[in-house]
Amino acid sequence: MFNLISSGTKSAVKKKDFKRSTAQSLHKHSHSTLGNGDLANAVKLPKDEQLNEWLAVHVVDFYNCASLIFGQLNGCTDLNCPKMTAGKLFDFLYRCDLDPKTGKKDKKQKPEDLSAPQYIKRSFDWMQELLDNEAMFPTNSEVPFPKNFQKVVKAIFKKLLRIYAHLVYDHFKQITALGLEAHVNSSLKHFLYFVIEFNLLKKADLEPLEDFTKNRLGVEYWNKIKK
Ligand code: ZN
């Protein structure tokens, strides 16, 4: 299901593994539950598992998934996508919300108007720096996650959401032509179930995907999202 590399055209970023020892078994757990197709239940925190471990495994999974999908698209260029949009109603300015070295708010950053591919590339580079930072995502299971870990996770999910929204609204024809429609739909549904289950994004952040959420997950899921 997640094997997109083999058909490989360009690949935006290299696949990331989260090597924390507990992460391996959680990863297997998450994928075996997914095999049953029940995404709403697959996202739930397994009994006796730590929330931060579960969040970390999923951040890496969704990062890999979104970057693999983006890597397949040739059509996302400065010329075709001069702005980072999600359909006609939304466009986004780029801001590096947190310093990837410290995970703290970077107040000096000013919003930048970038093309979609530049926005996406910058977002992936920023996420990769965070994921590679041992202080943020410790690979040794003896080392605790930092205090601001959930803030960092939320900031990553916000960027991932915009990337998914751009891909779905602005590149769906190409996604269908590549035969990736089912994969992208199920990946995005999984992402949304996860975000809603753990209250990772506000309603305002999720607005670009309001229709998708209501149609594919159900209105009751949209209504669960906090303002
Ligand atoms: Zn694009």
Task: Tell me the CA–centroid distance for residue 46 and ligand 1, in Å.
Answer: 36
Q: Which residue has the higher pLDDT, 217 or 25?
A: 217
Task: Tell me the CA–centroid distance for residue 94 and ligand 1, in Å.
Answer: 15
Task: Tell me the CA–centroid distance for residue 72 and ligand 1, in Å.
Answer: 12
How much is the pLDDT for 12? 44
Examine the pLDDT at 150 and tell me if it is beyond 70. Answer: yes
Instruction: Identify the three-state secondary structure at position 94.
Output: strand
CATH number for the domain harbouring residue 147: 1.20.140.30
Task: Tell me the CA–centroid distance for residue 168 and ligand 1, in Å.
Answer: 10
Instruction: Identify the three-state secondary structure at position 98.
Output: strand
Task: Tell me the CA–centroid distance for residue 134 and ligand 1, in Å.
Answer: 32
In this prediction, residue 1 has a pLDDT band, given cuts at 50, 70 and 90, of: very low
Examine the pLDDT at 216 and tell me if it is beyond 50. Answer: yes
Task: Tell me the CA–centroid distance for residue 85 and ligand 1, in Å.
Answer: 8
H or E segment to which residue 197 belongs: helix 181-197
- In the chain, % helix, strand, coil (3-state, to 5) comes to 55, 5, 40
Examine the pLDDT at 10 and tell me if it is beyond 60. Answer: no
Six-digit token string for 194: 């996860």
Task: Tell me the CA–centroid distance for residue 227 and ligand 1, in Å.
Answer: 28
How much is the pLDDT for 107? 80
Q: Which residue has the higher pLDDT, 109 or 197?
A: 197
- Mean pLDDT score of the chain: 88
Task: Tell me the CA–centroid distance for residue 80 and ligand 1, in Å.
Answer: 7
Task: Tell me the CA–centroid distance for residue 144 and ligand 1, in Å.
Answer: 38
Residues having C-beta closer than 5 Å to ion ligand 1: 76, 81, 116, 170
Q: How many domains does the chain have?
A: 1
Written in H, E and C, the secondary structure of 171-186 is CHHHHHHCCCHHHHHH
Give CA angle at 14 (146, 150), nearest 5°. Answer: 20
Task: Tell me the CA–centroid distance for residue 127 and ligand 1, in Å.
Answer: 19
Task: Tell me the CA–centroid distance for residue 52 and ligand 1, in Å.
Answer: 32
How much is the pLDDT for 77? 97
How confident is the model over 107-113, as a mean pLDDT? Answer: 88
How much is the pLDDT for 3? 41
Domain that holds residue 204: 5-224
Task: Tell me the CA–centroid distance for residue 120 and ligand 1, in Å.
Answer: 9
pTM of the model: 0.88
pLDDT, tens digit (0-9, with 9 covering 90-100), for 151-195 = 999 999 999 999 999 999 999 999 999 999 999 999 999 999 999
pLDDT, tens digit (0-9, with 9 covering 90-100), for 188-202 = 999 999 999 999 999
How confident is the model over 37-42, as a mean pLDDT? Answer: 87
Examine the pLDDT at 206 and tell me if it is beyond 60. Answer: yes
Task: Tell me the CA–centroid distance for residue 160 and ligand 1, in Å.
Answer: 14
